[in-house]
Amino acid sequence: MAFRPSKLCLRFPQVRLPDLSSFVQLFCARNVCRVAISNQLFRFVVIASTRDMARKVFNSPTFVKPCVVDAAYKLLRPENWVFLDGKPHVDYRKGLNGLFTRQALETYLPGQEEVYNVYFKRFLQVTKNNNGKAVPFMPEFRELMCALSCRTFVGHYISDHAVKKIADDYYLITAALELVNFPIILPFTKSWYGKKAADVVLEEFAKCAAKSKVRMAAGGEANCILDRWVQSMLASEEYRNKVASGVKVEDTEKPTMLVRMFSDLEISMTLFTFLFASQDATSSAATWLFQIMADRPEFLEKVREENLRVRGGDRHAPPTMDMLENQLPYTRAVVKETLRYRPPVIMVPYIAKKDFPITDSYTVPKGTSPLYAGIGPQFGRRGVRYNENLTWLYRIHGGANNLSCAPR
Amino acid sequence: MVPTTYLALHDSEAYPNPETFDPERWISGDADKQVKNWLVFGTGPHYCLGQQYAQLNLMLMIGKASMMLDWKHQITDLSEEIKVFATIFPMVSLSMLLQNTLVPDGRELDRVWCANSS
């Protein structure tokens, strides 16, 4: 089905992000050129829409880095690891790899299973409470995904009540990070509400970190990402202490990854980036997955048959990594195809750190980014500006010869 | 700069009939070999750290849901149109309602019916 930029315009007249996405859609739909340039409002946006151009941007860390709206620094805190670039970023990331290994993922499965059991029952109750009438389920999927993420990231250190609050408020965070928001956080604006919601998350996760440090130091079993991370901090510290005190330590006893001891707030900020990365994307994927399966019951039936079969007909049998990785090819295919057919993230904002010769004939100027922070509020409420932009964009296509920097 | 993922994932050379939802391309087809086009989780130094986690988790979710629930959805012209709120969602909000039925092995299954609210 074709994209409909005009529909997007009507629904989201006041924000810039859909503007960008409809740029993208325009290029996707028309396949006009590989790189599009817009210099509206004296700032450049370069959309790298084809596979090879997109890959080139993703794979050119010397020239570009991911960028975010100004509000993101305030919500995630400026010292957050996600804002690191180059070697410090690579090094920090290495310390997190151990949290997502096969072995680690297996330990998170029981918690996830538990969340699904609770929420699927709740889904049924939602309909019962509405006397069997259809109700919108997207908010339910968002909450499910938030609960699932919290359980996986911080286990049972967080209360159900706090999970519910984070899930309820999370859309404020998403809204605050739209590209349009005013760069200064004024009371009662989207950024203000978003910042408050983000502070709640950071505070909750920091409390979890403190509890995990105590429990892991006492030799507790790790069953969430936080626990595993704290365990690796404690193991690293023990190793360093031994070495410092002159005790001979065998190479086999050296932790595979040496990490420093992070503060509760640092841990919290990092866990928040995990939530930030997962919440919107998995909510999107879950919504499409449920809808697509509903619309194509023959596929759902195969998923059901496969899942019952690998569990020997017992739908309460716990999942294993081996099951998920090797025994459910059809379920895997359905998930992969959903992600391909409706990729949750259709564009990723980057900023050019220096002039970036993306093709032989075009160099992206330093500073090129999709950000318009500070000019957003000027944009009309009825999408007038938007339409102008769109027309303007069509004009670019019409007069591509005038656009010296639009390689075909 | 905005690298986009959509075009690569709807590239007919990598994925024939890209506008068709077809899980078979991952079983009998060669979709798994199109690694250059698979930009769902980005690529390069900032690729998604949780990509394996996310995919296995979605498999667990839909697998469990298929066994515990059933659901339907009334298709409209806008069902598979795209709305953007940071990520993409169906244009028309998904709604559900439930009934009971039986799983293939004879146990009771809770049925979740979905319908469009508009």
Name the minimum distance, in Å, from the CA of B14 to any CA of chain A: 11
Among A25-29, A275-279, A318-322, A390-394, name the one with the lowest average pLDDT. A390-394
Asked whether the beta carbons of B67 and A307 are under 8 A apart, the reply is: yes
Determine the Cα–Cα distance for residues A222 and A212; give it in Å rounded to an integer.
9
Determine the Cα–Cα distance for residues B116 and B77; give it in Å rounded to an integer.
11
> Are residues B5 and A346, on separate chains, in Cβ contact within 8 Å?
yes
From A3, A53, A295, residue closest to B82, measured CB to CB: A3
| Distance set, CA A371 to CA A44, A92, A240, B5 (Å) | 9, 26, 44, 19
CA angle A135, A140, A144 (to 5 degrees): 160
> Are residues B45 and A90, on separate chains, in Cβ contact within 8 Å?
yes
> Are residues A48 and B3, on separate chains, in Cβ contact within 8 Å?
yes
User: What residues of chain B lie within 8 A of the CB of A8, using their CB?
Assistant: 82-84
Cα of first residue to Cα of last residue in chain B, in angstroms, is: 37
Name the minimum distance, in Å, from the CA of A154 to any CA of chain B: 15
Looking at CATH, the fold of the domain delimited by A96-277 is given as Cytochrome p450 (1.10.630)
User: What residues of chain A lie within 8 A of the CB of B89, using their CB?
Assistant: 138, 284, 287-288
Determine the Cα–Cα distance for residues A115 and A89; give it in Å rounded to an integer.
32
* Domain spans of chain A, in order of start: 5-67+349-402, 96-277, 296-345
User: What residues of chain B lie within 8 A of the CB of A297, using their CB?
Assistant: 72
Q: What is the pLDDT of residue A375?
A: 28
User: Could you tell me if B76 lies within 8 Å of chain A, comparing CB atoms?
Assistant: no
> Are residues A337 and B23, on separate chains, in Cβ contact within 8 Å?
yes
Q: What is the pLDDT of residue A183?
A: 55
Name the minimum distance, in Å, from the CA of A105 to any CA of chain B: 7
Determine the Cα–Cα distance for residues A95 and A257; give it in Å rounded to an integer.
6
Q: What is the pLDDT of residues A60-103, one digit of tens each?
A: 999 998 877 777 888 889 899 988 999 999 999 999 999 999 99
Asked whether the beta carbons of B54 and A277 are under 8 A apart, the reply is: no
User: What residues of chain A lie within 8 A of the CB of B21, using their CB?
Assistant: 292, 296, 337-338, 341
User: What residues of chain A lie within 8 A of the CB of B28, using their CB?
Assistant: none
pTM exceeds 0.95, yes or no: no
Across A27-44, average pLDDT = 40
Nearest CA in chain A to B41: A345
User: Could you tell me if A120 lies within 8 Å of chain B, comparing CB atoms?
Assistant: yes
User: Could you tell me if B102 lies within 8 Å of chain A, comparing CB atoms?
Assistant: no
Q: What is the pLDDT of residues B13-69, one digit of tens each?
A: 999 999 999 999 999 999 999 999 999 999 999 999 999 999 999 999 999 999 988
Q: What is the pLDDT of residues A385-395, one digit of tens each?
A: 222 232 222 22
> Are residues A28 and B91, on separate chains, in Cβ contact within 8 Å?
no
Instruction: Please report the ipTM that was assigned to this predicted complex.
Output: 0.86
DSSP class of residue B93?
P
Q: Which span out of A175-179, A255-259, A377-381 was modeled with the highest average pLDDT? A: A255-259
Among A27-31, A100-104, A260-264, A288-292, name the one with the lowest average pLDDT. A27-31
Q: Which amino acid is at A169?
A: D
Q: What is the pLDDT of residues A323-336, one digit of tens each?
A: 999 999 999 999 99
Q: What is the pLDDT of residue A365?
A: 74
User: What residues of chain B lie within 8 A of the CB of A283, using their CB?
Assistant: 87
